[in-house]
Amino acid sequence: MAAMGRPVRATGLAMIAVLIAACGPNASAAAKPRPSATPGPTTTALGAIAYLQPASASFLDDRHGWVVGHACDAQGNCRPGVAETSDGGATWTELAAPPQRPMPAGQDPWPSTAAIRFTSLTDGWLFSPFLAHTVDGGGTWTMVSVPAGNLVTDVVTFDASVWAVMNCSAETPCAATLWRVSPAGDPLQPVGGLPADPGTQALVAGSRLLLYGPSAEQPGYLAVTSDGRSWAHVQSPCARASQQLGSSPSGNLIDVCWEAVGGGWGPKAAWSSTDGGSHWKLKSRSAGFASGSGPVGRIPQTGYPNDIAMPTPLDGWMSLGRENLYETHDGGINWAPSAVPGQFGGNAGGAEQVIFVDVRHGWARSSGGLFRTTDGHTWSRVNILGPVPGYDAP
């Protein structure tokens, strides 16, 4: 999703990259003190909010964007916060504090795993694990009722409606379900006719909606619909491997299959499709991905794919845990490192969410904060409300 981007997985969406130890191909020699990746809630009265550590971002165009994350005062006391920008991220304004609910024992405090999606200048959604809606650009939020025990893992806009993917907690696993809400804000309605275990991630690819599972343990197929009523099984090229899907607005797909060897090593193969996944063409493959198969094109062996943004069928950017950003301008045949500054990946954290609204304007969230490009290649960090103490200086 080029304009809205996608969150990183927890039950499929948790931001695991920032929690991995500093070792492997992209680790720094000595770990430097860093801001807490998951600030805890505070019972202390907060002072003036000095900065916001983003958990998720959403951009409609090269100017209008929103973030959700931990809003903290100068002493590091934090609460959930949402901020907006109307100049691409150069300046930010904090909005009303979003709703929140306690997280289960042992999980990071909300909004560490939260995601934000705006579909217009007024309509936006907060999700993971609960669901909240705004119709005034984030000025106020309303909680949306979801079935008890369900976690909202993804939200997309398709066929003039908002679609929410829900799953259960790890303690009580269940098959993912899909729910639909009209722009008028009617109650969520379950979508019938889904294939068994359709996956916890959703992707809009032109005139199609796809559901898939990113994990190698999930079924090796995609659930595809063009009307939201009838669904087809489409074989994924990543059977028995993890996968990360990306799509251009016209519907061209890239599916990057990868194997988590460990220590930051993740051999990969990139495939493309122009017909919603019915047929796939190999574009690139790193050494070591498949036994007896040599490399094709150029794609890194290191890093674990987290997100792919494709503003055109040829231009794409891939974020990688334990690595940084890679970009392609030939439809996935050749991937090269993007020019991120040294503090981008932090201590081997790597990149998480990536968003592009066109071939020049993009944003990437990493363990080093939120970064912005206006030429599609060189990046600089964005300070949201103010600089975060402990982040490396640019």
Which domains can be identified in the chain, with CATH numbers? 17-382 (2.130.10.10)
316 vs 177, higher pLDDT: 316
Query: Residue 177: pLDDT above 80?
Result: yes
So what's the pLDDT on residue 350? 80
Query: Residue 87: pLDDT above 70?
Result: yes
So what's the pLDDT on residue 345? 62
- pLDDT average, residue stretch 144-156: 89
Mind listing the pLDDT tens digit for each residue in 272-310? 999 999 999 999 999 989 877 889 999 999 999 999 999
Least confident of 9-23, 119-133, 213-227: 9-23
- Supply the pTM of this predicted model: 0.86
Distance of alpha carbon 318 from alpha carbon 324, whole angstroms: 9
Distance of alpha carbon 219 from alpha carbon 241, whole angstroms: 10
Find all residues with CB under 8 Å of 186, minimum gap 6, and list them: none
User: Average pLDDT of the chain?
Assistant: 84
Three-state SS letters, the chain: CCCCCCCCCCCCCCCCHHHCCCCCCCCCCCCCCCCCCCCCECCCCCCCEEEEEEEEEEECCCCCEEEEEEEEECCCCEEEEEEEECCCCCCCEECCCCCCCCCCCCCCCCCCCCEEEECCCCCEEEECCCEEEECCCCCCCEECCCCCCEEEEEEEEECCEEEEEEEECCCCCCCCEEEEECCCCCCCEECCCCCCCCCCEEEEECCEEEEECCCCCCCCEEEEECCCCCCEEEECCCCCCEEEEEECCCCCEEEEEECCCECCECCEEEEEECCCCCCCEEEEECCCCCCCCCCECECCCECEEEEEECCCCCCEEEEEECCCEEEECCCCCECEECECCCCCCCCCCEEEEEEECCCCCEEEEECCEEEEECCCCECEEECCCCCCCCCCCC
Distance of alpha carbon 313 from alpha carbon 58, whole angstroms: 21
Mind listing the pLDDT tens digit for each residue in 127-139? 999 999 999 999 9
Mind listing the pLDDT tens digit for each residue in 21-56? 333 343 333 333 344 445 655 556 788 999 999 999
Query: Residue 224: pLDDT above 70?
Result: yes
Percent of the chain's residues with pLDDT above 70: 83
Least confident of 39-48, 91-100, 209-218, 357-366: 39-48
Distance of alpha carbon 130 from alpha carbon 105, whole angstroms: 16
So what's the pLDDT on residue 348? 57
Band of residue 118 on the pLDDT scale cut at 50, 70, 90: very high
Distance of alpha carbon 206 from alpha carbon 248, whole angstroms: 7
Q: Are the beta carbons of 104 and 169 closer than 8 angstroms?
A: yes
Distance of alpha carbon 23 from alpha carbon 322, whole angstroms: 9
So what's the pLDDT on residue 185? 64
So what's the pLDDT on residue 173? 65
So what's the pLDDT on residue 366? 86
Distance of alpha carbon 265 from alpha carbon 259, whole angstroms: 8
